[in-house]
Amino acid sequence: MLTDFRRALDKSNFTGMRNKNNLHILLICVSLLGILVFQAILIQGDYLDKRAEFRQDVNQFFTESLDSAKAERSSRLNQMYIDDLRDTSIVKIEYDLNDEAPSLSIYNVVEQNYEASISTERASLPIDSLTEEALFNHYFLNNTNQDNHYWLLHSIMHNRFDIYRDTVSIDQDYLKNTLKRKLDEAFIDVDFELLITTDEGIVDSSLKEMITMPKELIGGAENDYIYAVFQNPFFEVLKRSLALLIGAFLLFLMVLFSFLLLVRSLYTQRKLSKLKDDFIDSVTHELLTPIATLKLALESERQRNKNDESKYLKIADQELKRITDITHNVLNSGLHKHVKAEVPKQMVEVVSVINEVLTYNKLVSSIPFETSFSGDQKVNVVTNEELLKTVLNNLIDNAIKYCDKGQACLAVDIKKSMSELVIRIEDNGRGIPPEHQEAIFNKFYRAPLLAHESIKGLGVGLFVSRSIMESLGGSLGLISSSINGSVFEIKLNLGDEN
Protein backbone atom coordinates (compact mmCIF):
# COMPACT_ATOMS: atom_id res chain seq x y z
CA MET A 1 0.00 0.00 0.00
CA LEU A 2 2.70 2.48 1.01
CA THR A 3 4.85 1.47 -1.94
CA ASP A 4 2.03 2.16 -4.42
CA PHE A 5 1.36 5.46 -2.71
CA ARG A 6 5.05 6.30 -2.89
CA ARG A 7 5.20 5.56 -6.63
CA ALA A 8 2.16 7.69 -7.37
CA LEU A 9 3.56 10.46 -5.21
CA ASP A 10 7.01 10.32 -6.87
CA LYS A 11 5.38 10.84 -10.26
CA SER A 12 3.29 13.71 -8.91
CA ASN A 13 6.35 15.23 -7.17
CA PHE A 14 8.44 15.13 -10.34
CA THR A 15 5.67 16.74 -12.38
CA GLY A 16 5.08 19.38 -9.70
CA MET A 17 8.79 20.22 -9.43
CA ARG A 18 9.13 20.44 -13.19
CA ASN A 19 6.08 22.72 -13.43
CA LYS A 20 7.41 24.88 -10.61
CA ASN A 21 10.80 25.26 -12.31
CA ASN A 22 9.10 26.04 -15.61
CA LEU A 23 7.07 28.71 -13.81
CA HIS A 24 10.28 30.16 -12.34
CA ILE A 25 11.89 30.28 -15.78
CA LEU A 26 8.76 31.90 -17.23
CA LEU A 27 8.81 34.55 -14.49
CA ILE A 28 12.50 35.18 -15.15
CA CYS A 29 11.84 35.62 -18.89
CA VAL A 30 8.92 37.97 -18.19
CA SER A 31 11.12 39.97 -15.80
CA LEU A 32 13.86 40.24 -18.42
CA LEU A 33 11.31 41.34 -21.00
CA GLY A 34 9.95 43.92 -18.55
CA ILE A 35 13.45 45.29 -17.95
CA LEU A 36 14.04 45.50 -21.70
CA VAL A 37 10.75 47.34 -22.25
CA PHE A 38 11.49 49.74 -19.40
CA GLN A 39 14.99 50.42 -20.74
CA ALA A 40 13.59 50.91 -24.26
CA ILE A 41 11.09 53.49 -22.97
CA LEU A 42 13.85 55.22 -20.98
CA ILE A 43 16.23 55.27 -23.97
CA GLN A 44 13.50 56.51 -26.29
CA GLY A 45 12.67 59.39 -23.94
CA ASP A 46 16.34 60.27 -23.59
CA TYR A 47 16.80 60.10 -27.38
CA LEU A 48 13.94 62.55 -27.94
CA ASP A 49 15.44 64.90 -25.34
CA LYS A 50 18.88 64.67 -26.96
CA ARG A 51 17.32 65.23 -30.40
CA ALA A 52 15.64 68.42 -29.14
CA GLU A 53 18.97 69.48 -27.62
CA PHE A 54 20.74 68.75 -30.91
CA ARG A 55 18.14 70.80 -32.80
CA GLN A 56 18.65 73.71 -30.43
CA ASP A 57 22.42 73.56 -30.93
CA VAL A 58 22.32 73.45 -34.75
CA ASN A 59 19.74 76.25 -34.82
CA GLN A 60 22.07 78.37 -32.73
CA PHE A 61 25.06 77.53 -34.95
CA PHE A 62 23.01 78.27 -38.08
CA THR A 63 21.88 81.65 -36.71
CA GLU A 64 25.44 82.61 -35.74
CA SER A 65 26.77 81.49 -39.13
CA LEU A 66 24.05 83.43 -40.95
CA ASP A 67 24.89 86.57 -38.93
CA SER A 68 28.53 86.12 -39.89
CA ALA A 69 27.52 85.73 -43.55
CA LYS A 70 25.44 88.92 -43.33
CA ALA A 71 28.44 90.77 -41.88
CA GLU A 72 30.59 89.42 -44.74
CA ARG A 73 27.95 90.67 -47.24
CA SER A 74 27.98 94.13 -45.64
CA SER A 75 31.76 94.18 -45.90
CA ARG A 76 31.54 93.36 -49.62
CA LEU A 77 28.95 96.14 -50.14
CA ASN A 78 31.30 98.58 -48.40
CA GLN A 79 34.18 97.58 -50.62
CA MET A 80 32.06 97.95 -53.78
CA TYR A 81 30.95 101.38 -52.59
CA ILE A 82 34.56 102.44 -51.93
CA ASP A 83 35.67 101.05 -55.29
CA ASP A 84 33.00 103.19 -57.04
CA LEU A 85 34.20 106.27 -55.21
CA ARG A 86 37.75 105.62 -56.44
CA ASP A 87 36.55 104.97 -60.01
CA THR A 88 37.26 108.25 -61.85
CA SER A 89 34.98 107.24 -64.71
CA ILE A 90 32.06 107.62 -62.31
CA VAL A 91 33.01 110.40 -59.90
CA LYS A 92 35.99 112.63 -59.21
CA ILE A 93 36.92 113.84 -55.76
CA GLU A 94 38.61 117.22 -55.52
CA TYR A 95 40.45 118.10 -52.28
CA ASP A 96 41.12 121.49 -50.64
CA LEU A 97 43.66 120.96 -47.90
CA ASN A 98 43.12 124.29 -46.19
CA ASP A 99 44.62 124.29 -42.71
CA GLU A 100 41.64 126.06 -41.20
CA ALA A 101 38.77 124.20 -42.94
CA PRO A 102 39.83 121.46 -45.31
CA SER A 103 37.15 120.21 -47.69
CA LEU A 104 36.43 117.90 -50.61
CA SER A 105 34.05 118.13 -53.52
CA ILE A 106 32.45 115.23 -55.48
CA TYR A 107 32.07 115.70 -59.21
CA ASN A 108 29.62 113.51 -61.16
CA VAL A 109 31.49 112.59 -64.33
CA VAL A 110 28.47 111.11 -66.06
CA GLU A 111 26.21 114.10 -65.50
CA GLN A 112 29.12 116.55 -65.30
CA ASN A 113 28.06 118.40 -62.19
CA TYR A 114 29.10 118.68 -58.56
CA GLU A 115 26.91 116.62 -56.28
CA ALA A 116 28.39 117.33 -52.88
CA SER A 117 30.93 119.45 -51.06
CA ILE A 118 32.06 118.62 -47.51
CA SER A 119 34.00 121.01 -45.28
CA THR A 120 35.12 120.53 -41.69
CA GLU A 121 37.15 122.66 -39.31
CA ARG A 122 40.68 121.39 -38.97
CA ALA A 123 40.51 121.27 -35.22
CA SER A 124 37.61 118.80 -35.29
CA LEU A 125 39.31 116.34 -37.61
CA PRO A 126 40.86 113.33 -35.70
CA ILE A 127 43.83 113.04 -38.07
CA ASP A 128 47.50 113.78 -37.50
CA SER A 129 48.61 114.84 -40.97
CA LEU A 130 46.31 116.57 -43.45
CA THR A 131 46.53 114.62 -46.70
CA GLU A 132 44.04 113.59 -49.40
CA GLU A 133 44.23 109.95 -48.32
CA ALA A 134 43.64 110.84 -44.67
CA LEU A 135 40.67 113.04 -45.59
CA PHE A 136 39.20 110.28 -47.83
CA ASN A 137 39.64 107.66 -45.11
CA HIS A 138 38.02 109.92 -42.57
CA TYR A 139 34.85 110.46 -44.61
CA PHE A 140 34.47 107.11 -46.37
CA LEU A 141 36.49 104.36 -44.63
CA ASN A 142 36.38 105.13 -40.92
CA ASN A 143 32.62 105.60 -41.16
CA THR A 144 31.67 102.45 -43.05
CA ASN A 145 27.89 102.51 -42.56
CA GLN A 146 26.65 103.60 -45.98
CA ASP A 147 23.23 104.39 -44.60
CA ASN A 148 24.89 107.30 -42.75
CA HIS A 149 26.83 108.84 -45.63
CA TYR A 150 25.79 107.56 -49.04
CA TRP A 151 23.01 110.24 -48.97
CA LEU A 152 25.87 112.68 -49.75
CA LEU A 153 25.70 111.39 -53.30
CA HIS A 154 22.24 112.30 -54.54
CA SER A 155 22.30 110.73 -57.96
CA ILE A 156 24.49 108.12 -59.56
CA MET A 157 26.18 106.77 -56.40
CA HIS A 158 22.85 106.48 -54.68
CA ASN A 159 21.38 104.45 -57.52
CA ARG A 160 24.40 102.17 -57.81
CA PHE A 161 24.36 101.42 -54.09
CA ASP A 162 20.65 100.53 -54.18
CA ILE A 163 21.35 98.10 -57.00
CA TYR A 164 24.14 96.46 -55.05
CA ARG A 165 22.02 96.17 -51.92
CA ASP A 166 19.13 94.59 -53.79
CA THR A 167 21.10 92.16 -55.88
CA VAL A 168 24.09 91.15 -53.80
CA SER A 169 23.10 88.15 -51.63
CA ILE A 170 24.98 86.42 -48.86
CA ASP A 171 27.77 84.10 -49.95
CA GLN A 172 26.34 80.58 -49.54
CA ASP A 173 29.77 78.97 -49.68
CA TYR A 174 30.92 81.28 -46.92
CA LEU A 175 27.78 80.38 -44.90
CA LYS A 176 28.35 76.63 -45.39
CA ASN A 177 32.02 76.86 -44.45
CA THR A 178 31.26 78.92 -41.37
CA LEU A 179 28.53 76.53 -40.25
CA LYS A 180 30.79 73.54 -40.95
CA ARG A 181 33.57 75.11 -38.84
CA LYS A 182 31.21 75.70 -35.91
CA LEU A 183 29.93 72.12 -36.11
CA ASP A 184 33.47 70.79 -36.16
CA GLU A 185 34.33 72.87 -33.09
CA ALA A 186 31.35 71.25 -31.32
CA PHE A 187 32.49 67.77 -32.53
CA ILE A 188 29.33 67.36 -34.63
CA ASP A 189 29.95 65.31 -37.75
CA VAL A 190 26.82 65.32 -39.90
CA ASP A 191 26.20 66.26 -43.54
CA PHE A 192 23.92 69.16 -44.38
CA GLU A 193 22.69 71.20 -47.32
CA LEU A 194 21.31 74.74 -47.65
CA LEU A 195 17.74 75.04 -48.87
CA ILE A 196 16.32 78.30 -50.29
CA THR A 197 12.55 78.44 -50.77
CA THR A 198 9.55 80.71 -50.41
CA ASP A 199 7.92 78.27 -47.97
CA GLU A 200 8.29 79.47 -44.40
CA GLY A 201 6.80 76.37 -42.77
CA ILE A 202 9.02 73.43 -43.76
CA VAL A 203 9.48 70.88 -40.98
CA ASP A 204 11.15 67.47 -40.62
CA SER A 205 9.57 64.84 -42.85
CA SER A 206 11.09 61.94 -40.84
CA LEU A 207 13.66 61.07 -38.19
CA LYS A 208 16.21 60.72 -40.98
CA GLU A 209 16.54 64.49 -41.37
CA MET A 210 16.47 67.65 -39.29
CA ILE A 211 15.61 71.13 -40.63
CA THR A 212 16.58 74.34 -38.87
CA MET A 213 14.30 77.27 -38.23
CA PRO A 214 13.74 79.39 -41.38
CA LYS A 215 15.75 82.59 -41.81
CA GLU A 216 14.90 85.39 -44.24
CA LEU A 217 17.35 85.53 -47.13
CA ILE A 218 18.83 89.02 -47.55
CA GLY A 219 19.70 90.13 -51.07
CA GLY A 220 17.73 87.36 -52.78
CA ALA A 221 14.28 87.28 -54.26
CA GLU A 222 11.41 88.71 -52.28
CA ASN A 223 10.06 86.40 -49.51
CA ASP A 224 12.89 83.90 -49.88
CA TYR A 225 13.85 81.85 -46.81
CA ILE A 226 16.96 79.81 -46.18
CA TYR A 227 17.20 76.56 -44.17
CA ALA A 228 19.96 74.15 -43.20
CA VAL A 229 18.85 70.56 -43.79
CA PHE A 230 20.85 67.96 -41.79
CA GLN A 231 20.82 64.48 -43.30
CA ASN A 232 20.50 61.42 -41.03
CA PRO A 233 21.39 62.98 -37.65
CA PHE A 234 20.32 59.73 -35.85
CA PHE A 235 23.82 58.50 -34.97
CA GLU A 236 24.97 61.99 -34.01
CA VAL A 237 22.04 62.28 -31.60
CA LEU A 238 22.71 58.75 -30.39
CA LYS A 239 26.28 59.71 -29.46
CA ARG A 240 24.85 62.12 -26.92
CA SER A 241 23.05 59.18 -25.23
CA LEU A 242 26.12 56.95 -25.31
CA ALA A 243 26.63 56.98 -21.54
CA LEU A 244 23.01 55.97 -20.91
CA LEU A 245 23.18 53.27 -23.59
CA ILE A 246 26.36 51.77 -22.13
CA GLY A 247 24.92 51.89 -18.61
CA ALA A 248 21.66 50.27 -19.71
CA PHE A 249 23.53 47.58 -21.63
CA LEU A 250 25.82 46.78 -18.69
CA LEU A 251 22.85 46.71 -16.31
CA PHE A 252 21.01 44.34 -18.62
CA LEU A 253 24.06 42.08 -18.84
CA MET A 254 24.34 42.04 -15.04
CA VAL A 255 20.65 41.18 -14.64
CA LEU A 256 20.86 38.56 -17.40
CA PHE A 257 23.93 37.01 -15.78
CA SER A 258 22.17 36.94 -12.39
CA PHE A 259 19.10 35.31 -13.90
CA LEU A 260 21.24 32.73 -15.70
CA LEU A 261 22.91 31.90 -12.39
CA LEU A 262 19.47 31.62 -10.79
CA VAL A 263 18.23 29.28 -13.54
CA ARG A 264 21.39 27.21 -13.20
CA SER A 265 20.89 27.10 -9.45
CA LEU A 266 17.28 25.93 -9.91
CA TYR A 267 18.35 23.12 -12.20
CA THR A 268 21.18 22.18 -9.84
CA GLN A 269 18.82 22.09 -6.87
CA ARG A 270 16.37 19.98 -8.78
CA LYS A 271 19.14 17.58 -9.78
CA LEU A 272 20.46 17.37 -6.21
CA SER A 273 16.96 16.85 -4.86
CA LYS A 274 16.38 14.04 -7.31
CA LEU A 275 19.74 12.48 -6.42
CA LYS A 276 18.89 12.73 -2.73
CA ASP A 277 15.46 11.17 -3.23
CA ASP A 278 16.96 8.42 -5.38
CA PHE A 279 19.54 7.76 -2.67
CA ILE A 280 16.87 7.57 0.03
CA ASP A 281 14.76 5.29 -2.16
CA SER A 282 17.71 2.99 -2.81
CA VAL A 283 18.77 2.78 0.83
CA THR A 284 15.28 2.26 2.23
CA HIS A 285 14.34 -0.27 -0.41
CA GLU A 286 17.55 -2.15 0.34
CA LEU A 287 16.58 -2.08 4.03
CA LEU A 288 13.05 -3.32 3.41
CA THR A 289 14.25 -6.59 1.86
CA PRO A 290 16.19 -7.90 4.90
CA ILE A 291 13.52 -6.52 7.22
CA ALA A 292 10.85 -8.48 5.39
CA THR A 293 13.05 -11.60 5.54
CA LEU A 294 13.67 -11.12 9.26
CA LYS A 295 9.96 -10.59 9.90
CA LEU A 296 9.13 -13.78 8.05
CA ALA A 297 11.73 -15.66 10.11
CA LEU A 298 10.27 -14.33 13.37
CA GLU A 299 6.76 -15.31 12.30
CA SER A 300 7.99 -18.77 11.47
CA GLU A 301 9.73 -19.05 14.82
CA ARG A 302 6.57 -17.90 16.63
CA GLN A 303 4.43 -20.44 14.78
CA ARG A 304 6.91 -23.17 15.66
CA ASN A 305 6.86 -22.19 19.34
CA LYS A 306 3.23 -21.22 19.90
CA ASN A 307 3.27 -22.24 23.52
CA ASP A 308 6.53 -20.49 24.30
CA GLU A 309 5.94 -16.73 24.53
CA SER A 310 9.62 -15.81 24.68
CA LYS A 311 10.38 -12.33 25.96
CA TYR A 312 13.17 -12.05 23.43
CA LEU A 313 10.84 -12.88 20.55
CA LYS A 314 8.53 -10.09 21.66
CA ILE A 315 11.42 -7.65 21.90
CA ALA A 316 12.71 -8.70 18.48
CA ASP A 317 9.22 -8.32 17.01
CA GLN A 318 8.81 -4.86 18.58
CA GLU A 319 12.19 -3.66 17.42
CA LEU A 320 11.56 -5.03 13.95
CA LYS A 321 8.27 -3.11 13.82
CA ARG A 322 10.06 0.03 14.97
CA ILE A 323 12.73 -0.37 12.27
CA THR A 324 10.00 -0.94 9.69
CA ASP A 325 8.21 2.26 10.76
CA ILE A 326 11.44 4.26 10.61
CA THR A 327 12.22 2.88 7.17
CA HIS A 328 8.78 3.76 5.86
CA ASN A 329 9.10 7.27 7.31
CA VAL A 330 12.42 7.77 5.56
CA LEU A 331 10.96 6.33 2.38
CA ASN A 332 8.07 8.75 2.56
CA SER A 333 10.27 11.73 3.47
CA GLY A 334 10.49 12.49 -0.26
CA LEU A 335 6.98 13.87 -0.04
CA HIS A 336 6.71 17.52 -0.98
CA LYS A 337 4.34 20.10 0.38
CA HIS A 338 1.22 20.90 -1.58
CA VAL A 339 1.67 17.87 -3.86
CA LYS A 340 -1.27 15.51 -3.90
CA ALA A 341 -1.42 12.01 -5.31
CA GLU A 342 -4.48 9.83 -5.76
CA VAL A 343 -4.54 7.17 -3.02
CA PRO A 344 -7.08 4.39 -2.50
CA LYS A 345 -9.67 5.06 0.23
CA GLN A 346 -12.19 2.99 2.09
CA MET A 347 -14.58 3.33 5.01
CA VAL A 348 -12.56 3.38 8.23
CA GLU A 349 -13.74 3.18 11.85
CA VAL A 350 -11.64 5.91 13.47
CA VAL A 351 -11.84 4.81 17.13
CA SER A 352 -10.85 1.26 16.20
CA VAL A 353 -7.81 2.53 14.31
CA ILE A 354 -6.77 4.73 17.25
CA ASN A 355 -7.13 1.83 19.71
CA GLU A 356 -5.02 -0.39 17.48
CA VAL A 357 -2.24 2.20 17.35
CA LEU A 358 -2.41 2.74 21.13
CA THR A 359 -2.28 -0.99 21.78
CA TYR A 360 0.81 -1.36 19.64
CA ASN A 361 2.58 1.56 21.33
CA LYS A 362 1.80 0.13 24.80
CA LEU A 363 3.61 -3.02 23.77
CA VAL A 364 6.72 -1.27 22.50
CA SER A 365 6.79 1.73 24.86
CA SER A 366 9.66 2.00 27.29
CA ILE A 367 7.50 3.92 29.80
CA PRO A 368 3.90 3.38 30.90
CA PHE A 369 1.20 5.72 29.63
CA GLU A 370 -2.48 6.31 30.16
CA THR A 371 -5.08 7.30 27.59
CA SER A 372 -8.47 8.94 27.79
CA PHE A 373 -11.16 9.39 25.14
CA SER A 374 -13.75 12.12 24.74
CA GLY A 375 -16.17 13.14 22.04
CA ASP A 376 -17.75 10.87 19.44
CA GLN A 377 -16.96 7.19 20.01
CA LYS A 378 -18.49 5.74 16.86
CA VAL A 379 -17.12 7.62 13.88
CA ASN A 380 -16.60 6.30 10.38
CA VAL A 381 -14.78 8.20 7.66
CA VAL A 382 -13.67 7.46 4.09
CA THR A 383 -9.86 7.57 4.04
CA ASN A 384 -6.77 5.39 3.72
CA GLU A 385 -6.46 3.29 6.88
CA GLU A 386 -2.74 2.54 6.62
CA LEU A 387 -1.79 6.16 6.04
CA LEU A 388 -4.00 7.33 8.90
CA LYS A 389 -2.30 4.75 11.16
CA THR A 390 1.10 6.13 10.13
CA VAL A 391 0.06 9.67 11.14
CA LEU A 392 -1.45 8.56 14.47
CA ASN A 393 1.54 6.36 15.24
CA ASN A 394 3.99 9.22 14.62
CA LEU A 395 2.07 11.59 16.94
CA ILE A 396 1.65 9.04 19.73
CA ASP A 397 5.25 7.83 19.44
CA ASN A 398 6.50 11.44 19.76
CA ALA A 399 4.27 12.03 22.77
CA ILE A 400 5.80 9.01 24.52
CA LYS A 401 9.42 9.68 23.50
CA TYR A 402 9.44 13.31 24.63
CA CYS A 403 7.69 12.74 27.96
CA ASP A 404 10.11 13.30 30.85
CA LYS A 405 7.62 12.88 33.70
CA GLY A 406 7.94 9.10 34.16
CA GLN A 407 4.45 8.35 32.85
CA ALA A 408 2.88 9.60 29.64
CA CYS A 409 -0.71 10.78 29.57
CA LEU A 410 -2.61 11.03 26.30
CA ALA A 411 -6.03 12.60 25.81
CA VAL A 412 -7.80 11.91 22.52
CA ASP A 413 -10.79 14.03 21.55
CA ILE A 414 -12.88 13.22 18.45
CA LYS A 415 -15.44 15.55 16.96
CA LYS A 416 -17.39 15.11 13.77
CA SER A 417 -19.44 17.76 12.02
CA MET A 418 -21.21 17.82 8.69
CA SER A 419 -18.06 18.92 6.86
CA GLU A 420 -15.04 17.59 8.73
CA LEU A 421 -13.65 15.20 11.31
CA VAL A 422 -11.34 16.66 13.97
CA ILE A 423 -9.03 14.50 16.10
CA ARG A 424 -7.08 16.24 18.87
CA ILE A 425 -4.26 14.46 20.68
CA GLU A 426 -2.98 16.12 23.87
CA ASP A 427 0.11 14.91 25.70
CA ASN A 428 1.98 15.85 28.89
CA GLY A 429 5.41 16.14 27.27
CA ARG A 430 8.01 18.86 27.67
CA GLY A 431 6.46 21.06 24.99
CA ILE A 432 7.99 22.80 21.97
CA PRO A 433 9.64 26.25 22.23
CA PRO A 434 7.64 28.93 20.34
CA GLU A 435 10.50 29.73 17.95
CA HIS A 436 10.57 26.11 16.75
CA GLN A 437 6.85 25.36 16.56
CA GLU A 438 6.48 26.12 12.85
CA ALA A 439 9.77 24.52 11.84
CA ILE A 440 8.98 21.11 13.36
CA PHE A 441 7.02 20.22 10.22
CA ASN A 442 10.08 20.76 7.99
CA LYS A 443 11.91 17.74 6.63
CA PHE A 444 14.79 16.50 8.85
CA TYR A 445 14.23 19.30 11.38
CA ARG A 446 14.66 18.70 15.08
CA ALA A 447 14.62 21.33 17.82
CA PRO A 448 18.27 22.07 18.83
CA LEU A 449 17.83 20.94 22.44
CA LEU A 450 16.21 17.67 21.39
CA ALA A 451 18.74 16.99 18.65
CA HIS A 452 21.61 16.95 21.19
CA GLU A 453 19.87 14.60 23.63
CA SER A 454 19.85 10.83 23.54
CA ILE A 455 16.27 10.66 22.18
CA LYS A 456 16.40 8.90 18.84
CA GLY A 457 14.81 10.43 15.78
CA LEU A 458 15.41 11.60 12.22
CA GLY A 459 13.16 14.65 12.10
CA VAL A 460 10.91 13.27 9.36
CA GLY A 461 7.90 11.98 11.31
CA LEU A 462 5.90 15.21 11.47
CA PHE A 463 6.91 16.16 7.95
CA VAL A 464 5.68 12.82 6.62
CA SER A 465 2.51 13.04 8.72
CA ARG A 466 1.57 16.49 7.45
CA SER A 467 2.32 15.47 3.87
CA ILE A 468 0.14 12.38 4.22
CA MET A 469 -2.74 14.41 5.64
CA GLU A 470 -2.51 16.87 2.75
CA SER A 471 -2.56 13.95 0.29
CA LEU A 472 -5.71 12.69 2.04
CA GLY A 473 -7.35 16.10 1.66
CA GLY A 474 -6.92 17.04 5.31
CA SER A 475 -4.44 18.86 7.51
CA LEU A 476 -2.20 18.46 10.55
CA GLY A 477 -1.23 21.30 12.84
CA LEU A 478 0.06 22.23 16.28
CA ILE A 479 -2.71 23.94 18.24
CA SER A 480 -0.77 24.82 21.40
CA SER A 481 2.40 23.88 23.25
CA SER A 482 3.82 24.68 26.67
CA ILE A 483 5.93 23.08 29.38
CA ASN A 484 2.80 21.10 30.36
CA GLY A 485 2.42 19.46 26.96
CA SER A 486 1.32 19.92 23.37
CA VAL A 487 -1.94 19.60 21.44
CA PHE A 488 -1.90 18.38 17.83
CA GLU A 489 -4.97 18.49 15.62
CA ILE A 490 -5.85 16.25 12.67
CA LYS A 491 -8.57 17.39 10.28
CA LEU A 492 -10.21 15.33 7.56
CA ASN A 493 -12.71 16.76 5.10
CA LEU A 494 -15.85 14.65 4.90
CA GLY A 495 -17.33 16.13 1.73
CA ASP A 496 -20.60 14.43 0.72
CA GLU A 497 -19.89 11.06 2.38
CA ASN A 498 -22.46 11.76 5.12
Band of pLDDT at residue 339, cut at 50, 70 and 90: very low
Asked, for residue 498, whether it belongs to a domain, the answer is no
In tens, the pLDDT along 257-310 reads 888 888 788 788 877 777 677 666 666 666 666 677 777 777 777 677 665 556
Count of domains in the chain? 2
Do residue 230 and residue 361 come from a single domain?
no
Global pTM reads 0.49
Residue 44 in domain: yes
Q: Report yes or no on 224 lying in a domain.
A: yes
57/192 same-domain check: yes
pLDDT of residue 490: 94
Q: Look up the domain containing 19 and give its range.
A: 1-240
| 106 and 223 assigned to the same domain | yes
**Residue 338: inside a domain, yes or no?**
no
Same domain, 352 and 223: no
Q: Are residues 355 and 234 in the same domain?
A: no
Residue 486 forms part of a structural domain? yes
Q: For residue 163, what pLDDT is reported?
A: 80
Domain boundary among 213, 240, 267: 240
The CATH number covering residue 447 comes to 3.30.565.10
- 227 and 348 both lie in a single domain: no
Q: pLDDT category, 1, cuts 50, 70, 90?
A: very low
- Residue 275 in any domain: the answer is no
pLDDT band at 9 (very low <50, low <70, confident <90, very high): very low
- The residue among 240, 270, 304 that closes a domain is 240
Please state the three-class secondary structure of the chain as a single string: CHHHHHHHHHHHHHHHHHHHHHHHHHHHHHHHHHHHHHHHHHHHHHHHHHHHHHHHHHHHHHHHHHHHHHHHHHHHHHHHHHHHHHCCCCEEEEEECCCCCCEEEEEECCCCEEEEEEECCHHHCCCCCCCHHHHHHHHHHCCCCHHHHHHHCCCHHHHHHHHHHHHCCCCHHHHHHHHHHHHHHCCCCCCEEEEEECCCCCCCCCCCEEECCCEECCCCCCCCEEEEEEECCHHHHHHHCHHHHHHHHHHHHHHHHHHHHHHHHHHHHHHHHHHHHHHHHHHHHHHHHHHHHHHHHHHHHHHHCCCCCCHHHHHHHHHHHHHHHHHHHHHHCCCCCCCCCCCCCEEEEHHHHHHHHHHHHHHHCCCCEEEEEEECCCCEEEECHHHHHHHHHHHHHHHHHCCCCCCEEEEEEEEECCCEEEEEEECCCCCCCHHHCCHHHCCCCCCHHHHCCCCCCCCCHHHHHHHHHHHCCEEEEEEEEECCEEEEEEEEECCCCC
The predicted model gives 229-239 an average pLDDT of 87
At residue 476, does pLDDT exceed 90? yes
- Residue 205 within a domain: yes
Residue at 277 is within a domain: no
Confidence of residue 68 (pLDDT cuts 50, 70, 90): very high
Structure confidence at residue 248 (pLDDT): 85
By percentage, how much of the chain surpasses pLDDT 70?
A: 76
Whether residues 15 and 161 fall in one domain: yes
Domain final residue, candidates 186, 215, 240: 240
235 and 376, same domain (yes or no): no
